[in-house]
Amino acid sequence: MQRSGAGLVITWRWFSLKYIFLTVFVLFWDGFLIFWYSMALRSDDWLPILFPIIHVAVGVGLTYSVLAGYLNKTRIQVTPRSLEIEHGPLPWPGKRLEASYVKQLYCKERIQHSRNSTSYSYELRAVTHDGGDRKLLKGLEEAEQALYLEQEIEKFLRIEDRPIRGELER
């Protein structure tokens, strides 16, 4: 975190151990598709070529996500005028809000259940002066990280922390 009179900048890398597992998965997924197409392209039949098109799209998306996990950083830049969230170097959607538009920041816990486990992730959200509720960041792995971002940005923008219904407990 860097703080100056003109602004606040918070940066972190995306990489975590989950990307190692995802790398292995993507290598098998993409490897199978390469094998499939090496066989299908030898055939005169179009069905084996068209059948896995959706799987190819999933493979491209997964591969891009894994590469972003290894390479990308998130950069939050807060000035008295704006709150900007950028991800890169690989392009990924970000957010930009006028600072005066932000009434309150809060964190929300997301719980995802599967057959064998439960996983938690956290969001940083903004309540706007017009009553809107905007998701600024999602997929944060630690509650402490989300709460830290909320606290530091509110402190910089001089927003008094007020309770929001449904927010993550401190």
Residue-wise pLDDT for 99-126, tens only, equals 999 999 999 999 999 999 999 999 999 9
Range of the domain at 134: 2-13+77-157
Same domain, 85 and 8: yes
Provide mean pLDDT across the span 21-28. 98
What is the total count of domains within the chain?
Answer: 2
pTM value is 0.86
CB 156 within 8 A of CB 3: yes
* Comparison of pLDDT for 109 and 48, the residue scoring more: 109
* Residues 29 and 91 both lie in one domain: no
Query: Which one of 47, 70, 93 terminates a domain?
Result: 70
Single out the residue of 97, 107, 98 nearest to residue 138, CA to CA: 107
Domain annotation covers residue 110 = yes
In a shared domain, residues 57 and 87: no
What integer pLDDT is reported at residue 46 of this predicted model? 86
- Look at residue 124 in the predicted model and tell me its pLDDT: 98
To the nearest 10 degrees (0 to 180), the angle between helices 18-40 and 53-71 is 150
